[in-house]
Structure formats: structure tokens, C-alpha cells
A = this chain, B = another copy of it.
Amino acid sequence: MIADFVVSPKTEAEVIEILKVCYEHNVPVTTRGAGTGNYGQAMPLAGGCVMHMDKMAAVKQIAPGRVVVEPGCLLKDLDAATKADSGQEIRMFSSTWATATIGGFIAGGSGGVGSCTWGSLRDLGNIIRLRVVTMEAEPRVLEFRGEELARVSHAYGTNGIITEIEIPLAPAYDWVDLFLTTEDFMDAARFAEELGNEDGILIKLATVFEAPIAKDYFQRVAPHVDSGDNLIGLMVAPQSMEGFLTFLDRRPEAKLIYRSDASDWDRTPGLVFEYGWNHTTLRALKFDPSITYLQVRYGFPQHLELIEKMRTSLSPEVLQHLEVLRENGKVMFAGLSLVKFTTEERLDEIVKMHEDAGAMIFNPHRYTLEEGGRQSVDDQQLAFKREADPKGLLNPGKMIAWDDPDWKYAEMYAYPKMQAAE
């Protein structure tokens, strides 16, 4: 699974040129942002060309509430540019903000920090426009808005190369980072849920970590907690701190142990969001390589009940890590549960327990679009791939529906043309 060569186009014209040449010579093209995606979205399964987008990183236009940017721009750099220009920032980002690109986030991500307020990338309004180059004898440049966005967003670059992105912006505030602890796990989950439902308190993150995640895996937090402490991580807008502290006073079960605007910790814990979303697993892996994780959807209104049920059945083999998320206007939870891996069979059993209870699983151990998602073919993406990548050269092996329309999902898909690293 290594590429034969790597290219770094500087302009859309160069992208077109590369695709044209590769099309002519039947060379697969796998596009990469910063390579932080953790589902194998950008592994070049059939070798060929890896196209790095790092040279196409310009912030092209900033206006009130929106930005136009090239795909290779780091999330961090994009936020710095919009904040400096007009006190704005992107609505949501992955916890890999410091190293990931906006193009990679849109082509391979689903949501993250900010989704407690703005929902997911797939929700209407969270992407305004995508400009895309097709993989044909004469590559076309297309502009997608509205329903058409679903053709290429979260498609892993399988049906076109994104060369320009227009997304909405939110006001940038000096978010206050907070850590709190509770003795009871469900108290922590309820705290995060109720805070997410406070319409007048603006937050950007509300994360819950079951004990002993904080003590065992969060090195800079560990000195301030016990093994029995459940941890809540928050980002609160400074103008909402008064309201938040009133909310907190009403809940003596939660104890504030850290606030970034008035910290007495010897060593700063860094950014709180770098403990949440995918970073929780990354931190845990440093201490215990046998850890893996699941992505769970605890949907409204059963979310708290489902969480309690899964925890009762599976803790401490599965430790709860919850992220407040809005879906269809309701606060619910995404779970990125930490699993102590034993066998494939046991992992499948754990997955089945969730599904049987009604908690949908998005399997992060699969590299295809369908298996990582809702296990169904996206007809719109498939139809567009027929048009935009007729030879099937873009990021091959990631869209099962293209390779094997009759695939039944009973077992993990293995791309038959996969090339071993030599």
C-alpha cells in the first residue's frame, strides 16, 4: 500500500494536468491532505499517484460569515487567517486541528469540535460550495452547492478532486477551556447534556470521559484527579462564563478543577479539545497499545438511557467517551468508546450489543465509505463517480458499490486489487 510517486500541485491548472496524464496512462490517484485521517481514507490501495494538496493552501476570500479557501490549508492556519481578518473562525473542526487540512476534513470527516452547536458537516448550511475537478480525458471543473454537495463531501476523493471550498464562519471568541469532575458517571453525562441544552450559554465543546480515563491516559490532568473521577471537558465562550458558573452552582455534584482563564496548575494541560474526539483514543494508545475504539451514535431521546445500558453491560472493558452533538436540533451524544481489544470475535460481539440496544455503530475499523458509514450504497456518490471517474482511478478500493455492487457487508471488504508494500 505505497504510492509509486507523489505530486504536489500548486494550482487548479496543475491538478487538471495531473489528472489528465494519469487518466491517459490508467494511473490511480489518491488525494491526501495532511494524512491525519484514521480510517485509512487516503491509503493508496492500488499504488499509483498520491496527490498531496499542501501547496494549495491559500485563504482566498473572507466575508462576514463565510470564507473561500483552498483544500490544503491547515485548519489552524485557516482559523488564524479568519480571526486576524475579522474575528471569525470555522464552525467546526476535528481534534487534529493543528495538523489536518480543511480539504481532508471535508472529504473524510463528519464533524467535531463545534458540532455541539452547529451539528455535522453533512447538515444543510455547514458547507456552502465545493469546486471539483473530474477524472476524465478532459477533466471538467464543476461547482457544487445544495444537494449536489453530497456527491463529493465525505467521499474520500473517490469521485473528484476538491480544489476550492466555501464554508460558513462563526464568531471567534477566546474560548475558556474547563475541566470538571464528578464521582458518578451519569452525573457527568447529564451535566454535559443539560449544558448543551442551555440556549443562552454558548459552548464549542462538551466531552465526557469515564473514570479512569483521565487518571490513566491524560498525563497533565492525572495529578489533579483520582482514579474514580469522571472528567468533563468544556469550551465556553467568555461572555457565557457568568451563566455557566450559575449553571455549575446549581449542580454541586460537579467540581471545577481547571479553567484556562484562571489556572493554578503548574503545567498547562494544553487545549481541552485536544483531549476530545479522536484525540482521546490517540492519548490512550500511548499508554495501552491494546486499546481500540468504536464510534457510537446515542440518538435522542434514548441517548442517556442507552449510554447507561452500555456502560452497565460493558465497563470497564469498554470505557465511555462521549461528545455532545446536535442532530436535527436535539442534543444527543456521539460515543467514541475506548475498547480493551481482545479478539475480533469479542469486538464483533460488542458491536452487536450496541446495535441490538439501538445504538448505531460507525465502524472505524473499515476503510471503505460504506462500511464506515451506514452500510448502504450512496447512490448519488456512485452515480456521480460513473460520470466523473469513468475508469475508476480515484482513490480505488474505497467505494465498494463501484467495485462489487453485490457486496453484502457480512464480512469486512478487502479490496481485491490491493497492492502490498514492496
Binding site for B on A (CB under 8 A): 64-66, 86-88, 91, 117-120, 123-126, 128-129, 145-147, 168-174, 196-202, 237-240, 242-247, 249, 326-331
Q: Are A198 and B242 in contact (CB under 8 A)?
A: no
Note all chain B residues with C-beta closer than 8 A to A145. 242, 246
Residue in B closest to A119 when the chains form the complex, CB atoms: B199
Across the interface, name the chain B residue whose C-beta is closest to A240: B125
Would A327 and B199 count as touching, CB distance under 8 A? yes
Q: Which residues of B contact A123 (CB under 8 A)?
A: 198-200
Tell me if A168 and B240 are in contact (CB < 8 A). Answer: yes
Residue contact B169 to A239, C-beta cutoff 8 Å: yes
- Asked if residues B146 and A246 are in contact (CB atoms below 8 Å), the reply is yes
How long is the Cα–Cα vector from A174 to B326 in the complex, in angstroms?
26
**Count of this chain's copies in the oligomeric assembly:** 2
A119, A173, A239, A331: most-surrounded residue (chain B CB, <10 A): A239
**Alpha-carbon distance A156/B74, docked complex (angstroms):** 51
Q: How distant is A12 from chain B, measured CB to nearest CB, in Å? A: 22
Distance from A254 Cβ to chain B, minimum over Cβ atoms (Å)? 15
B124 and A197 form a contact (CB under 8 A): no
Return A27 CB to nearest CB of chain B, in Å. 35
Most chain-B CB neighbours within 10 Å: which of A123, A146, A202, A247? A146
Give the complex CA separation of A198 and B326 in angstroms: 9
27 contacts between A and B (CB under 8 A): A64-B239, A65-B171, A65-B237, A65-B239, A66-B239, A87-B87, A88-B171, A118-B200, A119-B198, A123-B198, A124-B244, A124-B246, A125-B200, A125-B239, A125-B240, A128-B243, A145-B246, A146-B242, A146-B246, A146-B249, A147-B246, A168-B237, A168-B240, A199-B326, A199-B328, A199-B329, A329-B330
Max chain B Cβ within 10 angstroms of own Cβ: one of A124, A197, A199, A202 = A199
**A239, B168: Cβ atoms under 8 Å?**
yes
Q: A125-B202, A198-B124, A199-B117 are in contact. Are A170 and B168 (CB under 8 A)?
A: no
Interchain nearest-CB distance for A66 vs B (Å): 4
Contact across chains for A147 and B249 when beta carbons are under 8 A apart: yes
A122 and chain B: residue at smallest CB distance? B200
Find A64's partner among B171, B200, B326, B331 (CB 8 Å cutoff): B171
Contact, CB under 8 Å: B65 / A238: yes
User: How far is A217 from B75 in the complex, measured between Cα atoms in Å?
Assistant: 50
- Do A200 and B242 touch across chains, with their CB atoms under 8 A apart? no
CB of A142, distance to nearest CB on chain B (Å): 16
| Chain A to chain B: the 6 pairs with minimum beta-carbon distance, closest first | A125-B243, A197-B329, A119-B199, A125-B200, A65-B239, A123-B200
Residues of chain B within 8 A (CB-CB) of A247 are 124
Rounded to whole angstroms, the CA-CA distance of A322 and B126 in the bound complex is 27
Closest B-chain residue to A67, C-beta based? B239
> Is there contact, CB below 8 Å, between B124 and A200?
yes
A194 to chain B, nearest CB (A): 8
Inter-subunit contact B169/A170 (CB<8 Å): no
Min Cβ gap A51→B in Å is 28
Q: How far is the CB of A70 from chain B (nearest CB, A)?
A: 19
